[in-house]
Each structure stands twice: as C-alpha cells, then as structure tokens.
Amino acid sequence: MIGINDFLTLITALLIAWSCSLLGCFLVLRKVVMVGDAISHSVLPGIVIAYLVSSNFNSGFILIGAAVFGVFTTFIIDFLHKKLKLQEDASIGITFTWLFALGVILIALFTDGNADLDQDCVLFGELGITFLDKIIIDGRLYGTRSMWMILPVFILVLLFVVFGFKGLQIISFHEEFAQSKGINVSFWHYVFMALVSITTVMSFESVGAILVVGLLVIPPATAYLLNDKLIPMLWISCLFSSIACVTGYYASIYFDVSVSSMIIVVAGCFFLLAILYSKLSRKKMEIIDEKAF
C-alpha cells in the first residue's frame, strides 16, 4: 500500500514531469532542444543574484532572476548565431558554459557556504521527502514545500499551452508564415523561453538542472517518434513521463539509488523501445507497399 511520503513524492515528480513534457514538445518541434539545455544551466547566475538581493531562496525574486537570465541566454544565442553568423551549436555551448561557470563562481564568492544553494542541489537535486520539507500546521500535513512550489508553475504552463496553443502551434510548424501574417514571433519565443526558465529553476531542488533536461527532452522525443501530430504528441509525452516517474520511483527504492536518476533511466528505456517500434512499423509499411505493387 502506498504511503503518504510515497504519494507526496510522486505528486511532486509528476507535476515536474508534466510541466517539462508539455514545454518539451514545443522545444522538440522547434528544434531548439539544446537551447532548453542551455537555459537549465545558464539561469544559475540569475538565481544567485536574486538570492543575494532577497537573502531568501524561496522568494519571488528567484523566479524573476531565472526568467531574466533565461531570456538573456536566448538573446545571446540568437545574437551570436543570427547576427555574428556563428554556428548554432557553438553559440549554445559558449553561452551556457560561460554563464553556468559564472554562477558557480558567484556561489563560491558571495554565499560563504551559508546559503541553501549549492552545486550539488543545482546539478543533481533530491526528490525524497524530509521532515523539514513537510508543511505541518496544527498537527495536520498539508503537503510539502516542493509540491506547492511546482504546482503553480504547472498550472501556469498548462494555461499557457491551452490559451496560447494556436500561437505556439504556428511558430512551431510555420515560423516564416507566422511572420508574414504579422504575428509577433519574437514575443512568443521569449515568453516561451521565460516559462522554460521558470520551470527549470523550480525543478532544481527536486530533480536538478542536469536531470530536468532529460524530462524536457526524452518524453517529448519519445512521443514524436510515435506520433507527428501536436495534440496527441502532448498527451503521449505526458503519459510516458508519468509512467517513467512511477516506475522509476519504485525501481529506485528497490535498487536503493537516486530517484531522479532512475526516472530518467526508465524514460530512456521507453525512448529505445519507441525507436524499435518505429523501425518495425516503418519496415512493415514498406513490405505492405511492396506487396501492393
């Protein structure tokens, strides 16, 4: 029987996975997955600066700092690639490594080791439930801090996808057509990247910057192999991320390993199965076509 700690951990993991899966589909379709990777690392200076301003890792300044540096990262990459004609992969690599290194230096110089913000937390995260993470009022448990931090982000992502679906769809499939129709492509682009930044930073404590990239990429890529239509792709991506979270959580308990890492490993296994399925399906269709002629 599932315990309360297991339930709260899974809810937190699912909220993060759903948020990343929805945004990741558009990253995959727009072929800017590595920009999501860059954002997940380069928001670190924004987090540190916001912490230094507010002296509180739980303040709203953290979100603002992450969003600003996420958009700043996108702007730098676009500038290097489109204006200076540097290769896109080189633009991404230069930007995120430089900003991430800057964030690590800022942590070392200005936090004095007293902040609840360190490289291990940012890189690897920890999806377990601790007593300090629980919110207990008058002896009653009202969830965990991690859960209540990511819940508003998931709602924001969901509302953005639902109400901005047409805009996201047209810039994902027909960006040049959208520009010809007078649609502000830059607005949608930077708002979307800001939301990726917020989702990333709010997932830091639970899954870490490195592993959140896996959730942004693997379930959407798996869904893309199985279906090339946007709405089914969104549903399939969320489905696979959900299965990966539940399976990965209990597998991590069985093998006594990191929860976050096991979730990503399971998601990767589903991706490999999707590759095999797509290959077999394509081969079957080729055989059918040959017989038809």
Q: How confident is the model at residue 132 (pLDDT cuts 50, 70, 90)?
A: very low
Best CA proximity match to 107, nearest among 122, 85, 90 = 122
Average confidence score pLDDT of the chain: 83
Task: Give the Å distances, CA to CA, from 75 to 69, 91, 185, 203.
Answer: 9, 11, 14, 23
Does position 290 have pLDDT exceeding 80, yes or no? no
DSSP string, 231-277: HHHHHHHHHHHHHHHHHHHHHHHHHT--HHHHHHHHHHHHHHHHHHH
For 223-243, how does the pLDDT look when each residue is reduced to its tens digit (9 = 90+)? 999 988 899 999 999 999 999
Q: For the chain, which domains are there?
A: 4-209 (1.10.3470.10)
For 30-51, how does the pLDDT look when each residue is reduced to its tens digit (9 = 90+)? 888 888 788 878 888 888 888 8
